Amino acid sequence: MMKPEIRRQPAAGSCRSLFSIRSWALDVGRWTFAFLLGRPSSAFSLIEVTLAMMVMAVGILGIMVLFPAALQQNERSIGDTHAAVFAEEVFAGLQAKAGTNWATLEAFTMPIAAANMWSNLPAVRATNYPKISTNRYLVPSEPYEDHALRYCLATNSSAVGLRKNVTLFVWPGEFGGTNDPDIFYMEFFRWKP
> Which comes out higher in pLDDT, residue 86 or 23?
86
Are the C-beta atoms of residues 119 and 134 closer than 8 Å to each other? no
* Dist. CA 51–CA 9, nearest whole Å: 34
Q: What is the pLDDT of residue 149?
A: 87
pTM: 0.62
Q: What is the pLDDT of residue 38?
A: 56
Are the C-beta atoms of residues 166 and 153 closer than 8 Å to each other? yes
Q: What is the pLDDT of residue 57?
A: 96
pLDDT interval class at 22 (50, 70, 90):
very low
Q: What is the pLDDT of residue 51?
A: 93
Q: 173-182: per-residue pLDDT in tens? A: 888 777 888 8
Q: What is the pLDDT of residue 9?
A: 58
Q: What is the pLDDT of residue 101?
A: 76
* Dist. CA 189–CA 187, nearest whole Å: 7
Are the C-beta atoms of residues 183 and 86 closer than 8 Å to each other? no
Work out whether the CA dihedral 69, 71, 75, 81 comes out positive or negative.
positive
* Dist. CA 9–CA 23, nearest whole Å: 5
Percent of the chain scoring above 90 in pLDDT: 10
Q: 24-53: per-residue pLDDT in tens? A: 444 444 445 555 555 555 677 889 899 999
As a whole number, mean pLDDT of residues 16-31 equals: 47
Provide the mean pLDDT of the chain: 75
Closest by Cα among 19, 41, 21, 18 to 31: 41
Q: 131-173: per-residue pLDDT in tens? A: 777 777 777 777 777 788 888 888 877 656 778 888 889 888 8
Q: 48-58: per-residue pLDDT in tens? A: 899 999 999 99
Domain spans of the chain, in order of start:
82-189
Residue 1 has pLDDT above 60, yes or no: no
